[in-house]
Structure 1
Amino acid sequence: MKPATAVVDVHGIYKIYTEFYANPSARKTIILVNGSLSTTAAFAQTVKYLRTQFNVVLYDQPYAGQSKPHNHHHQPITKEDEASILLELIEQFRADHLMSFSWGGVAAMLALAQRPARIEKAVITSFSPLLNEPMIDYLEKGLTHLHALDGDQLGHLVNSTIGRYLPSLFKRYNHRHISSLDSHEYQQMHAHVHQVLHLDAHCQMQCLSAIDIPVLFVNGEHDAYTSPEDVRLFAEHLSDCQFVTIDNAGHFLDMEHKAAWLQSQAALLGFLQSKPLRQTHYRPQMDVLHALAV
């Protein structure tokens, strides 16, 4: 079943391409937030299980995918802009849940910190509050390729680092997508990575205490870039959070193999369909530790 597509006006500034997968029996709607350089195609595997229980909304950022032809690209947009776009789409599609992937977690959490009244639960996947050594190394190399507008080398970098566990077919699609982007897309990502590396603006921890809904963090066991250990720092700042580690998976989780897909399905549906418990502050125990693109 193909989604209903539309180009939605946001604040009279942006035109956003959207896809809506309707489920006639669903009572809830979930909106998905892409990672950097990616498009709605990045969620092809995720939609397969979410659409069985929910209405699902996908969208392309103004600078990406099928939103590109409808917008001007005079300068990069900020993560605050992306959060504002997300908040407007939440209202327009009456979304109840939110899920983000990778760098989409920045805009997602900035939006959640504004306490959108409709959102009941959120899932943040493949994201970490820390820039560890592997991530810094990856970003610094990526910055060089982005500055040179070298999509070919950037594609190889992504596939050899965060995408190392992807099947070979997905790696080919990934490289084809990344190497054929428009110059403004590389400039958009360059601006964001430069800000992250030099202005300490990766994750604004001080705003997280405003998030007052249950949040599930999902990370891959073998993801050295947004590791299951690092993500647990969020427990010090959020009043109601849970953590799931997908066995034998890297950064791209349900795209990597069938077992990871099944674990991701069970984790997300179990969390989103469970009845909320009274909030308690999670304290981690010391012994418990597409186009695809970023």
Structure 2
Amino acid sequence: MKLSRQDAFLCLGTFFASAWDAHHDLRLEEYDMRPETAVVEIQQHRVHTEFHANREARQTIILVNGSLATTASFAQTVKYLQPHFNVVCYDQPYAGQSRAHNDCREFITKEYEAQLLLDLIEHYRADVVMSFSWGGVATLLALAERPARIQKAVINSFSPLLNASMLDYLHRGLDYLSACDRTHIGNLVNDTIGRYLPQLFKRYNFRHVSGLHEHEYQQMHFHICQVLKLSAESYMEKFAAIDIPLLFMNGELDIYTTPAEARLFQQLIPDCEFRTIRNAGHFIDVEHKKAWQETQDALLAFLQPQRHPVLANPYLPSSQGVPIAAMVG
């Protein structure tokens, strides 16, 4: 499969927070402490950050969410990362706990998000970066600048193509966002990229997506328009400059960012690996316990191949879950 001029980039959403397996009663309580929060001045904005410390860790990993997801969406991921790393999460300037600190009258581009990420990498002295869905664009743009600190990166639920399913999703999304049609926006996310989520998560997801601030819908609309106008070649040339090992993970059932399309990155990036999470859709490890475990195993095998096993806190679907899926994730 060759990349054509019409090919562009897309992805979205990320996922929720909670725990899964009730028979797993062992807890790593030393990793359950509340994170250190801070508002960091980066570029022209103030960014809400959360630092999950591990006194024994030798590396720090920074997590890059999708466009409208927030730090709360990383609760599941932090569960299996914190026993091995210091973990940094942050909200984009227009979303979550960052939004109140910023003037959101102007839209933010993916190029700006990439520069913001580079500055946060330096601020927290991060060694590894991991992105989810639409956060993959800003992450790959940042990695193309070859930040000296970053040793490896993981890119989840992302591909270099806008296929027919994704284009249909985006164009319908544009219509609903333009009309600020909250009900249709919430249903669209759950019926497409969120189709494999548990029903409980779908209910919380709908509540979250349909209740966003109007500016967040406008920012979402701006990002979709930016994606649809992308020149694939210009971005691909930038991505080809990436010189560190990358792991791409995609869900087997995800028709929006498919595992086969993700493998097109091997035409450009010399040192990359690919993993397909079985029986999982776009939201991968949020969808069921086996996908959560398989995602964790693949990620840690890539980042720390010589690691000693450490039991992470289990994942339990509960009413405390925090929804995070978004139109362009």
What is the TM-score of this pair, normalised by structure 2? 0.83
Match of 1:230 in 2: 261
Q: Distance in 2 between matches of 1:270 and 1:62?
A: 33
* Aligned residue-pair number: 279
Residues 67 and 92 in structure 2, CA contact (< 8 A), matched pair in contact too = no
Residues 197 and 283 in structure 2, CA contact (< 8 A), matched pair in contact too = yes
Q: Helix, strand or coil for the counterpart of 1:24?
A: coil
Matching residue within 106, 113, 131 for 1:82: 113
Cα separation, partners in 2 of 1:93 and 1:270, compared to 1, 3 Å = same
Structure of greater relative contact order (alpha carbons < 8 Å, 6+ residues apart): 2
Q: Helix, strand or coil for the counterpart of 2:153?
A: strand
1:147 aligns with 2:178: yes
Match of 2:25 in 1: none
Cα separation, partners in 2 of 1:67 and 1:203, compared to 1, 3 Å = farther
Matching residue within 40, 45, 51 for 1:8: 40
1:20 aligns with 2:51: yes
Q: Distance in 1 between matches of 2:232 and 2:88?
A: 28
Deviation, 1:66, is 0.2
Q: Distance in 2 between matches of 1:216 and 1:47?
A: 18
Q: Distance in 2 between matches of 1:21 and 1:268?
A: 18
Residues 165 and 256 in structure 1, CA contact (< 8 A), matched pair in contact too = yes
1:198 aligns with 2:229: yes
> What code does the residue aligned with 1:142 have?
G
Match of 1:133 in 2: 164
Q: Helix, strand or coil for the counterpart of 2:63?
A: strand
Q: Helix, strand or coil for the counterpart of 1:217?
A: strand
Deviation, 1:202, is 10
Residues 189 and 325 in structure 2, CA contact (< 8 A), matched pair in contact too = no
Match of 1:283 in 2: none
Deviation, 1:198, is 3.4
Q: Distance in 1 between matches of 2:148 and 2:75?
A: 28
Match of 1:105 in 2: 136
Identity %: 63
Deviation, 1:152, is 2.0
Cα separation, partners in 2 of 1:200 and 1:174, compared to 1, 3 Å = farther
Deviation, 1:183, is 1.0
1:292 aligns with 2:286: no
Q: Distance in 1 between matches of 2:104 and 2:90?
A: 18
Q: Helix, strand or coil for the counterpart of 1:145?
A: helix
Deviation, 1:151, is 2.3
Deviation, 1:38, is 0.9
Gaps of 5+ in 1: 276-289
Residues 124 and 217 in structure 1, CA contact (< 8 A), matched pair in contact too = yes
What is the TM-score of this pair, normalised by structure 1? 0.92
